[in-house]
């Protein structure tokens, strides 16, 4: 997942604003107690999401893929007073842990945490979004994009994680073209070819696709 020299990455993180105590706790407890901790956004990417959110100053955020709540907490830092962050995850086993983090952050009233299938939940959320973060099952990335693009206001942003997919978007870094890899490649091409947005693929961590709706 990491493409930059390890020492350069450490240098970059040392020159990045630190995590809050709560985010450090979420990071540490996720690595100690939860399966597949690499799914966590982590320090540097989390600070980037926070900065994006503070620049956008969203009133409505949608996150598809909560995991342990780290990225939601980061994006909530830029949420306007009275705004709402909707976050969706299918893993009900993490619900108690994640709700605890949201409560500890004092954000229970600002975060609407949905448990279930995002394909079924998204149509029922009646909001126009300023920021959407997609970080869920790769097979449905293109479907999620199609479902939210009309819900994003002009000038709003869609950010998708894992778009370099551990380098497997390039043939030399993969043994075979599996379904997830093909889905990520197709998604990247879809966004690149979509005239409704302007986009940049940022090679931080496992890659972020940042698309601004025109």
Q: What is the tens place of the pLDDT at every residue in 81-137?
A: 999 999 999 999 999 999 999 999 999 999 999 999 999 999 999 999 999 999 999
Q: Is residue 1 part of a domain?
A: no
Q: Is residue 85 part of a domain?
A: yes
Q: Is 174 exposed, middle or buried (0-12, 13-18, 19+ CB in 10 A)?
A: middle
Question: Which residues form the domain of 199?
Answer: 6-213
Whether the predicted pLDDT of 1 surpasses 60: no
Nearest-angstrom CA–CA distance, 144 and 122? 9
Q: Provide the pLDDT for residue 6.
A: 87
Nearest-angstrom CA–CA distance, 103 and 82? 16
Q: Give the pTM.
A: 0.96
Whether the predicted pLDDT of 2 surpasses 90: no
Per-residue CA distances from 198 to 116, 193, 194, 201, 214 (Å): 31, 10, 8, 11, 7
Q: Is residue 21 part of a domain?
A: yes
Number of domains in the chain: 1
The mean pLDDT of 175-191, rounded to a whole number, is 96
Q: Is residue 101 part of a domain?
A: yes
Q: Provide the pLDDT for residue 168.
A: 94
Q: Is residue 63 part of a domain?
A: yes
Q: Is residue 92 part of a domain?
A: yes
Question: 70 φ, ψ to 5°?
Answer: -60, -50
Q: Is residue 188 part of a domain?
A: yes
Residue 9 CB contacts under 8 Å (≥ 6 apart), including other chains: 2, 44
Measured N-to-C along each axis, helices 95-104 and 21-33 cross at an angle, to the nearest 10 degrees, of 170
> How is residue 90 written in tokens?
């299918």
**pLDDT tens per residue across span 42-86:** 999 999 999 999 999 999 999 999 999 999 999 999 999 999 999
Place of tokens 């020159």: 15
Handedness of CA 211, 60, 207, 115 (dihedral sign): negative
CATH of the domain at 163: 3.40.50.150
Whether the predicted pLDDT of 173 surpasses 80: yes
Residue 200 CB contacts under 8 Å (≥ 6 apart), including other chains: 209, 210
Q: Provide the pLDDT for residue 138.
A: 97
Handedness of CA 53, 59, 62, 63 (dihedral sign): positive
**pLDDT tens per residue across span 186-211:** 999 999 999 999 999 999 989 999 99
């Amino acid at each position: 997942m990491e493409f930059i020299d390890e020492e350069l990455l450490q240098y970059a993180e040392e020159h990045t604003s630190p995590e809050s105590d709560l985010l450090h706790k979420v990071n540490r407890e996720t690595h100690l107690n939860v399966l597949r901790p690499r799914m966590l956004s982590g320090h540097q990417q989390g600070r980037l999401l926070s900065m994006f959110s503070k620049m956008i100053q969203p009133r409505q955020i949608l996150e598809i893929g909560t995991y342990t709540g780290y990225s939601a907490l980061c994006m909530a830092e830029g949420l306007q007073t009275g705004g709402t962050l909707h976050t969706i995850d299918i893993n009900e086993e993490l619900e108690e842990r994640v709700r605890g983090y949201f409560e500890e952050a004092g954000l229970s009233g600002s975060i609407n945490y949905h448990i279930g299938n995002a394909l079924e939940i998204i149509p029922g959320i009646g909001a126009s979004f300023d920021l959407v973060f997609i970080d869920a099952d790769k097979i449905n990335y293109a479907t999620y994009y199609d479902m939210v693009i009309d819900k994003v206001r002009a000038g709003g942003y869609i950010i998708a994680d894992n778009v370099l997919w551990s380098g497997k978007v390039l043939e030399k870094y993969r043994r075979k073209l599996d379904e997830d890899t093909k889905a990520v490649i197709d998604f990247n091409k879809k966004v690149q070819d979509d005239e409704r947005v302007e986009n940049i693929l940022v090679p931080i961590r496992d890659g972020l696709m940042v698309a601004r709706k025109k």
